[in-house]
Structures are given as structure tokens and as C-alpha cells.
Amino acid sequence: MQSLVRPNAWVALRLQSGQHKIIQIIPNTIISLAKYGTFSSNLIVSRPYNLTYELLDRESGAKDSDLRIVPASELHADTIAEEEASAGTETTIGGDGVEFQLVGENGEVVMRSNRETIDDSARQTLTMEEIEELKLEGTDAGKDLIAKLMLSHTGLDQKTSFSLAKYKLLKTKKYLRQFTVLPVDVPLLTQWMLEEKDSSKILDMREEMLALIGSWSNVHHAPSPADLPGPVGGRWLVVDETGGLLVAAMAERMGILHADVDRENSELLDYAEFEGPSYHDRRSDHGLATSNTITMIHTNAQPNLNLLSYFNYEPNAPSSASCHNHPLATQLLPLSWLQLLSPSSDTTYSTVPRDYTPEELATMKSGKRGTYHRKVRRYTRIRHIVDSTRAGGFDGLAVASSMDPVSVLRHTIPLLRGGASIAVFSPTIEPLTQLSDLYSTSRRTAFIQRPPKEIEDWSLDELTKWQGNDDFPLIPTLVLGSSLQTARVRSWQVLPGRTHPIMTSKGGAEGYLWTATRVIPAEGKVSARGKYSKRRTENAPKGDKSEGIQKQLDNGDLE
């Protein structure tokens, strides 16, 4: 992630109200902040993130406002003043700090209560018409209006320190024309989708659940090819129905979410510039990476990855677009369920483009020749993605989908290597409890002791392709260590006598996560069970154990 605001980058403007406005910083354009005003986008280009700006009063004849960087001393002036005022003094806290009036030994009031405080609107002497006139004047970025509101309040001296701070904060959020420029990352985008957009589009998935999915599916960052001599990274399989949010979270962990703007005019992932055969192995002949990749299975003709546009990646953009220099252009490999389960039924995979000779291509018009080359590239890309996916060997599986997880795991578990991590997210717990039952110890024991008759003599490769039956919808011996969990991080207000969760926090589904590990079952059948007894029969000669073994077989100790 970059430290400076680059042209055409997506940024989040955090307003004083606490809301975020995500916009693209296109040079030479005007950015509107509704009631706050407008300013030129060039004023924040090439400036650091996390700076707070203030919209200055618009000069006569000017269409837009200028910006002023608010220093940190001004942003934290109230906190600094409070600490300086309390320096060298002792703070008396008693009761719950709210319900009772605390008086010192000398009769001085230490802390007041809000019991006698009446409605703030009745104590405010400024009328709504006067407040609207002050808002239209808009002097000193709204600070004059806040000062007049504070001075016009007749009950200000009766407020507690906490109530006074809350009142000032409320007016500051409403009238102060300041904003902070933040970089768009996965946590911020998740919070924005949950609180200000449609949370159902991301399955009500929260930041902590995204972190758990990445951890339990063992998604990790791969170093640069120039740093290590051997193969780096891994291959992960993803089923994402959150608009690309899960893919973005995994790509951020793998270090391939943000483009390298210092090399934006070159081919970012041309690993041939690194010396050594191990670096060339990281890229196939089709221009696609072979490690540190995300293979996404989707249900539609095109994958729904609209949230990746906030990271300057458009999967369906034309080939001339600059986003094809993005790392995800070669390391995100999408394919449909149809291409995975029945490739011959997909026309893009099964239809081989006609092979023209160089002489025939030379006689074509430029438009027709370009169309032909695009078809060949698309066919080659699809063939490579489908064939490599069906070959399996993935290092992990992450699922966030409204589909039945049983149907998803039936076709994706055989594609994982031994020891691969699995993480399945669901907004509700019922589908995941069914998974826990299908991979339970009792069901696995029943499958080992009394396997279905049609698969008794099957090899391991044939067993992994079995579609299951009514008793065993999934093969329970392919997965171990299944568990079901949930987690939710809540914000708390911590004050004397007033410690409780923030009651206005976002609700929605709790969200549950099922995790497990892919294993390779041992081939063959274990025929010996129970404790082996070493005692000999009375009449059996020394060294002859045949009668002892026969007795154990009769007793059922051995089979």
C-alpha cells in the first residue's frame, strides 16, 4: 500500500460525522462533500494519507474552497487542555458518577449529576432561523457557529464534564467542515459495506471473521522471488460470493492486492527478469503465475468481483487497460462450476480456434486479426486454468457462499493436497452443523468398518471421485479435526458507572466458521482390532502360538 495519494487511486474521506465517502481521485476534477462544500482533487494528490483537511471559506468569485492541513496540536487541543488543567490536581470519583452529587469536605462540588438538567433544545436561545443564517455564512469552517451555540446555551454551567464534552462533540460532528483522507484497505471497506451500504452483499461478514478465514485456511504472504532461491507462495482455492471481499482479504495477506506504482509502466509480473530457473517456474507459458495464486470458482458467466475495483483492478476491463499490470491479472484465476465439473459442455473450453497460417493472418484486416488473437489468448488462458485446477494440489480452501456447503465440498475436497487447511463461512449455523455431523468421529468409524458395497474394492483415486449416497453424502475419511466456531468483536463504552457495549453498533448475522484439515486416508483395510494377548495355552508347546491365536479369533479379539 502506498503512503501518498496517487492519481486515479481510491481513497476514503472520513467526515466529522464518522461516515466515510469512498471516491476515486481523478486529476482536474471537483470533489463534492454535500453540505461541507467542494474542492479540487489536485489539492490532495501526491500528499500523504491520514492528514486532516479543513475547507476554508470560499473567496469571492471562486467556485470551490481551498484546503488547510489541520495540525495535530489543533486536532487534540481539548485533550491537551484537559490534561494541563488536571495536572497537579486530584480527581475525586465516587458513587457511579452520574446519579449523585459529590461534595467535598469544604463544600466544593466535585461532580454534578444530570438529574436537574432539562432538554437542551429548551436551553438554547438561538432559533433555527438564526442557526440557518449562521450556516449560510459559513465563517471559519463552522467553528464560529459552534462557539455561538455554546455561548447561547443557558444551562451549560449545569452540565457534567462528560455531558459537556458530549454536547461539544455532537455540534462538532454536525457543523465542523473537516475531513481525513484514509487509504482504502480491506478492514475499512468491510466496515463501509456493513454500516453504510448493503451488508447482505457480503453475507454480513465482519472484519474479525475475515481474519479468521485467512488464518484457518493458512493464507500467508509470499516474499519476492528475488529474496528466496526456492519456490515461494502457494495455491488457494476460493468460492466467494461476497463481491470479491474474501478474495481481496486473501490477496492482501499474500501481498498481491496492491499494484506496484513504481513499475506501473512495465510488466509487473515478468519474472523472467530474475535470474535462476526457480523464478521462471513461477510463471507458465500462458503468462499466468503458477504459485502464490488464488483460483476462484464462480456460478455465473463472469465472476462477481466488483469490490476489487476499489483496489484498481477490473477483471473485465479491455486488454489495453492499465489494470492488466495489476498482480491479480496473472495471479487470480477464475473459472465457473461448469468448467470445473464438465469442461466439454463449456464452449469456450471445448471450441478450438481455427489455426491460421502466417500468410493468412497477413492478408486479414487489422480488426479481424486482433479479434482472432483475443480468441486464441482467451482459449489458451481458460484451458490452462481449467486443466491446472482439475489437476488439484491446492494448499487451502476458503468458502463464503450461500450455496449448500455439502455440494461445494463434494467437488473441492478432492482438489486439495494432504494437510491442506479448509475454512467454510456461513451466516447461519445450520449448514455447518450438518458438515460437522458428516465428518464426525462416529460417522468416520462407521464408514471404515462398514463401507458401502460399491466402493469396497476401489482405489484411493477412485474413492475421492465418489459422489456419495444417502448414508454418506461426503467421504468422512478425507477430513480430520473439524470444528465449529464464531467470534464477534464489540465496542464498549468504559466510564465510571457506565461500562456497557455500544448500543448503536451494527447488528446482523453472527456468522459461523467451520474448519478442518484435508488428509490422505491409508489404502487397504485394517483387519486387526483390540488388544493382542501374549499368553499361551496350557497344552500348547513353547513357541507354538497357533492355538492361542485361534482362541482369540473365536473370542472375537482378532479378525
Question: Cα(343)–Cα(388) distance, rounded to whole angstroms?
Answer: 12
Q: Do residues 269 and 328 lie in contact, with contact meaning Cβ atoms separated by under 8 Å?
A: no
Please check whether residue 304 is in contact with residue 244, taking contact to mean a CB–CB distance below 8 angstroms: yes
Identify whether the C-beta of residue 222 lies closer than 8 Å to the C-beta of residue 536.
no
pLDDT at res. 115: 44
Q: Which long-range contacts (CB under 8 A, 24 or more apart) does 109-117 make?
A: 111/160, 111/161, 112/158, 112/159, 112/160, 113/160, 114/159, 114/160, 114/163, 116/158, 117/155, 117/158, 117/159, 117/163
pLDDT computed for residue 273 by the predictor: 36
Q: How far apart are CA 274 and CA 515, in angstroms?
A: 38
Nearest to 160 by CA among 103, 117, 106: 117
Q: Distance between CA 71 and CA 3 in Å, rounded?
A: 18
Q: Rounded to a whole number, what is the largest CA-CA distance in the chain?
A: 118
Q: How far apart are CA 532 and CA 515, in angstroms?
A: 36
Residue by residue, DSSP assigns 9-63 as -EEEEEETTS-EEEEE--TT-EEE-GGG-EEEGGGTTTSBTT-EEEEPPPPTT-S
Q: What is the pLDDT of residues 427-457, one digit of tens each?
A: 999 999 999 999 999 999 999 888 898 888 8
pLDDT tens by residue, the chain, 559 residues: 678 999 999 999 999 888 899 999 999 999 998 878 899 999 999 999 999 998 887 877 788 889 989 888 877 776 776 666 666 544 444 333 333 344 444 555 444 444 444 445 545 555 666 555 555 555 554 666 666 666 666 556 666 666 667 666 666 666 678 899 999 999 999 999 998 999 999 999 999 999 999 999 999 886 544 454 545 678 999 999 999 999 999 999 999 998 765 544 333 334 333 333 333 334 455 578 888 999 999 998 899 999 999 999 987 765 545 566 789 999 999 999 999 999 999 999 999 988 888 888 888 888 898 888 889 999 999 999 999 999 999 999 999 999 999 999 999 999 999 999 999 999 999 999 999 999 999 999 999 888 898 888 888 888 888 888 989 999 999 999 999 999 988 888 887 777 888 877 776 778 999 999 999 987 665 555 566 566 655 555 555 555 555 555 565 555 5
What does the pLDDT look like over 184-197, one tens digit per residue?
999 999 999 998 99
Q: Facing residues of 396 across strands? A: 236, 421
pLDDT tens-digit map of 211-227: 999 999 999 886 544 45
Give pLDDT, residue 157: 61
CB 180 within 8 A of CB 14: yes
Q: How far apart are CA 274 and CA 231, in angstroms?
A: 13
Q: What is the model's pLDDT at position 126?
A: 59
